């Protein structure tokens, strides 16, 4: 007869008991137990001559330890998922998944929905004027006042080339929330999953639903710091082999977004030399051209289950002309090997 060592919720380990299968009324936990056991034995089988049907009077200590760690990881990831969804302010849900290893939630990451200014930096998030259109799609709206074209078509898809700024309607505008020129400010509309990659790239992000081409997917947010501070932090990040610095160099090179500790889902989006996301500069309530918001739009149709990526150098998408504005992430001194696997891979991230 099979017996299971049970940890009773709310009770110390000293009260653990061995229970026969008929005493357990937890089919989901038992299924997870079975799956974890099978996955572990499958991994062991790759390196040793062992059959999955091998019968033991007791689980081997290494297997038992793995199952316990996997269960604790699953609980930790579920709590993190719940926390992310409590903190986010957009429609799309956030899911977390790790079927690759025992890595748990990041220990030093804080979810934010908008830029977090570093001490000494002021972000003016209130527009001084707005449009009075009755239909912003046909009248002289905020983009025209800024000397650019309206960024979107009637299907809420971006129609301007990369390098062209987006000016959306703001809090002073008389148009309502259904205005066709209010897209980025509504936040992510798609359900996304932060997942552990199997190619050594750590965490990544995949979409759980189909995304049409040229659609807004997410913003890149983080802590806004000076370029001097970014240079200092960049030295530290290089030593750790990480890069979350993104220069706000639309018009000047005064500020950088650092998403290492503070960020949203975009913090986990990986690089690709053949990406499916493209960066655009956006201005809504803050019209300071030194501080654009960074929006990521799909370059093509992205199917459900597909990983989302953008080019950390903002090249190779096929949409950028040689005279477009340079949106490349901030200074990267150490050469970092690229693992994107694209046919057009440049070999390095920088």
- Residues annotated within the binding site for Zn(2+) are 131, 133, 136, 141-142, 169, 173, 175, 179, 273, 338, 340, 345
What is the H or E stretch that residue 195 is in?
strand 192-196
Which residue among 111, 167, 244, 312 is the active-site one? Answer: 312
Burial class (CB in 10 A: 0-12, 13-18, 19+), 263: buried
**Is 220 a known active-site residue?**
yes
**Is 190 a known active-site residue?**
no
Annotated binding site: 131, 133, 136, 141-142, 169, 173, 175, 179, 273, 338, 340, 345
**CA dist 101 to 126, 228, 320, 336, Å?**
45, 37, 37, 23
Beta strands in 274-321 (DSSP E): 277-283, 293-298, 309-310
Chain-centre distance for alpha carbon 114: 14
| HSE-up (13 A, CA, CB side) for residue 207 | 21
* Long-range Cβ pairs for the range 29-37 (8 Å, 24+): 32/70, 32/71, 32/74, 33/4, 33/67, 33/71, 36/66, 36/67, 36/70, 36/71, 37/63, 37/67
User: Rg of the chain's alpha carbons, rounded to an integer?
Assistant: 24
Angle at Cα 35 formed by Cα 103 and Cα 208, nearest 5°? 65
Which residue among 66, 111, 190, 220 is the active-site one? Answer: 220
Catalytic residue positions, numbered: 220, 312
């Amino acid at each position: 007869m099979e017996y299971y060592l049970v940890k009773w919720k709310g009770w110390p380990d000293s009260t653990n008991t061995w229970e026969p299968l008929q005493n357990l009324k937890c089919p989901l936990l038992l299924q997870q137990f079975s799956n974890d056991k099978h996955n572990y034995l499958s991994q062991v089988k790759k390196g040793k001559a062992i059959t999955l049907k091998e019968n033991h009077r007791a689980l081997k200590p290494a297997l038992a330890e793995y199952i316990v760690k996997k269960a604790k990881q699953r609980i930790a990831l579920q709590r993190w998922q719940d926390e992310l969804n409590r903190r986010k302010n957009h429609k799309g849900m956030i899911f977390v998944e790790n079927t690759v290893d025992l890595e748990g939630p990041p220990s030093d990451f804080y979810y934010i929905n908008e830029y977090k200014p570093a001490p000494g930096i002021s972000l003016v998030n209130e527009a001084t004027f707005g449009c009075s259109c009755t239909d912003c799609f046909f009248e002289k709206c905020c983009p025209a006042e800024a000397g650019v074209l309206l960024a979107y078509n009637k299907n809420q898809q971006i129609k301007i080339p990369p390098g062209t700024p987006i000016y959306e309607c703001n809090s002073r505008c008389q148009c309502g929330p259904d205005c066709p020129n209010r897209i980025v400010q509504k936040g992510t509309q798609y359900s996304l999953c932060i997942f552990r990659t199997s190619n050594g790239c750590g965490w990544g992000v995949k979409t759980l639903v189909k995304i049409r081409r040229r659609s807004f997917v997410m913003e890149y947010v983080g802590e806004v710091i000076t370029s001097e501070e970014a240079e200092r932090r960049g030295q530290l990040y290089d030593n750790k082999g990480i890069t979350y610095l993104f220069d706000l160099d639309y018009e000047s090179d005064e500020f950088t977004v650092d998403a290492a500790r503070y960020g949203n889902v975009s913090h986990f989006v990986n690089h690709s030399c053949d990406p499916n996301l493209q960066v655009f500069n956006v201005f809504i309530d803050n019209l300071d051209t030194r501080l654009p918001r960074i929006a990521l739009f799909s370059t093509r149709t992205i199917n459900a289950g597909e990983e989302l990526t953008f080019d950390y150098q903002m090249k190779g998408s096929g949409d950028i002309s040689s005279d477009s504005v340079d949106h490349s992430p901030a200074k990267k001194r150490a050469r970092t090997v690229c693992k994107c696997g694209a046919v057009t891979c440049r070999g390095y991230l920088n």
